Amino acid sequence: MSDLGHVLVLAGGLSYEREVSLRSGRRVSEVLRATGIDVEARDTDASLVPSILADPPDAVFVTLHGGAGEDGAIRSVLELLNVPYVGADPDACRVAFDKPTAKAVVRSVGLRTPESVTLPKETFHDLGATVVLGRIVEHLGLPLFVKPARGGSALGASFVRTAEELPAAMVGCFAYGDTALIERYVEGVEVAVSVVDLGHGPVALPAVEIVPDEGVYDYAARYTAGHTEFFAPARLSAAAAAACAETAVTAHTALGLRDISRTDLIVDADGVPHFLEVNVAPGMTETSLLPMSAEAAGQDLGDLCRTLLQNAAARARAS
């Protein structure tokens, strides 16, 4: 049995990624119960704070994706309640959740990341969409990848092959956020590298290679079984795999993250990884990448989650 009395798994929320979050929460709850932990799963509604005040958990595992789950808001509330939790603190979350800011931080420590333009919806409209988009194509070239500056699960993201496809991609992006990140597309192998710190410093788990059936790792490809083929570990040379691991740990450290993260990369033809984005609350569903990485490393997901919770509780006791 665990030395943790009971733990709280937060899942759901009101972001566009609610359904994915609920699936992540169910998975984490199941694997923790299998290790003997008393688990309570809760949504983030008006009853949450009174419930925590009435019966404070030993630690919280946050499986909220997007919005308040990754922008630091919920974690700020947990800190106000003096409840320990797994993952990065609110300040680090705010930096990592904003993709353009995260790109600037990792670029400052020497990591490669695709050249990009960040464009708020107001600028897009006020300055004239046709003129602005034309300049973007001239500056970045084609193809491009468009995605919301904040958010995840590839919602609102589009691969743009021609200049004619860019306006529709921008409209689709703005449906999920007020700011678009337009990146130069880097041809290569898409991989995800999870980083965990079980008490001895951040360590990269084996990279997972992502091969979507339709060529683009969109929402359907991520969360529909059979739409994407995964290879764990990724089919990379030893040198490229090591470079990916180093990149993910460097990003995790530079962004001030804690306990757990997942960095998405493109590995080009020369074996060089290019940073795309980082996730402070990685998906934990049956088709998510961190559980695949843990399995490839020979780690039991329940034991991993339990250790993270124990470390969070110990961190709180020591502070």
54 vs 21: CA distance, rounded Å: 25
Q: Residue 287's pLDDT is what?
A: 86
> Distances in Å between the alpha carbon of 221 and those of 86, 111, 210, 265?
28, 27, 10, 17
- Whether 315 is catalytic: no
Active-site residue, selected from the candidate residues 223, 261, 293, 306: 223
Instruction: Please check whether residue 61 is in contact with residue 10, taking contact to mean a CB–CB distance below 8 angstroms.
Output: yes
Active-site residue, selected from the candidate residues 72, 87, 151, 283: 283
Q: Residue 10's pLDDT is what?
A: 97
Listed in sequence order, the residues at least 6 apart from 270 whose beta carbon sits closer than 8 Å to its beta carbon are none
pTM higher than 0.85: yes
Q: Residue 140's pLDDT is what?
A: 97
- Whether 277 is catalytic: yes
Q: Residue 1's pLDDT is what?
A: 41
244 vs 60: CA distance, rounded Å: 30
Q: Residue 56's pLDDT is what?
A: 96
Six-digit token string for 118: 């960040």
87 vs 2: CA distance, rounded Å: 20
Q: Residue 2's pLDDT is what?
A: 56
Mean pLDDT by 10 residues, the chain (319 residues): 84 89 97 96 95 97 89 95 97 97 98 97 79 94 95 83 95 93 96 97 98 73 75 98 98 98 98 97 93 97 98 93
Give the pairing of strands 203-204 and 208-212: unpaired
Instruction: Please check whether residue 244 is in contact with residue 191, taking contact to mean a CB–CB distance below 8 angstroms.
Output: yes
- Whether 311 is catalytic: no
Instruction: Please check whether residue 12 is in contact with residue 29, taking contact to mean a CB–CB distance below 8 angstroms.
Output: no
